[in-house]
Amino acid sequence: MSLEPKLNQPVAKKPITKRFQRFALIGYIGLLILMPVWLFLIAPREGHSNGFIFVVYILPLLLPLKGIIQDKPYTYAWANFIVMFYFIHGFTLLWVAQEQLIWVLLELIFASLMFIGCTYYARHRGQELGLKIRKLKEELAEEKAAHEHDK
């Protein structure tokens, strides 16, 4: 019997990793539900078509859906670029649409949960899986060594 780990066995998640994934999912699903309900039902935007609202406010949230379902840490990491839009939107509306304060606060809470959850889930899960983002310094050193070897 071999004591070496089997290659195709899934790597278990630590409790902290699961907690951050839960934060990310609560924030993500919260935004997925909140945005269409808010923008189509509760306070439809005058002067904007439903197609425009969908493309600008809903579609970006659908982009990481497949990777999140497949539990890919890299998807959680780049989803943070998308969630920045919802921070900007929320903070802007805090200033200009105070009559919608409850919805704005919900957007900011969900965006914060998603941002924190995605950031730390990607980090912890990446470490558990042995994934590593190479440092630019290492890349440059390898490139330099390869270039000198070619001479």
Per-residue model confidence (pLDDT) at position 45: 81
DSSP string across 49-114 = -HHHHIIIIIHHHHTTHHHHHTT-HHHHHHHHHHHHHHHHHHHHHHHH-GGGHHHHHHHHHHHHHH
How many whole angstroms separate alpha carbon 138 and alpha carbon 85?
32
**Residues 120, 84: Cα–Cα separation, whole Å:** 16
pTM to 2 decimals?
Answer: 0.80
First to last CA, the chain: 49
Q: How many CB atoms lie within 10 A of CB 73?
A: 20
Residue ranges per structural domain of the chain:
14-147
44: its two tokens = 């439809």
Q: Would you say the C-alpha torsion 140, 144, 145, 149 has a positive or negative sign? A: positive
Give the 3-state secondary structure of 6-43.
Answer: CCCCCCCCCHHHHHHHHHHHHHHHHHHHHHHHHHHHHC
Instruction: For the chain, 151 residues long, give each residue's pLDDT as a single digit of tens.
Output: 444 444 556 888 888 899 999 999 999 999 999 999 999 999 888 888 889 999 999 999 999 999 999 999 999 999 999 999 999 999 999 999 889 999 999 999 999 999 999 999 999 898 888 877 666 667 677 777 777 776 6
Residue 22 CB: number of other CB atoms within 10 A? 13
The half-sphere exposure of 95 on its side-chain side, counting CA atoms within 13 A, is 5
pLDDT digits (tens, 9 = 90+) for 2-28: 444 445 568 888 888 999 999 999 999
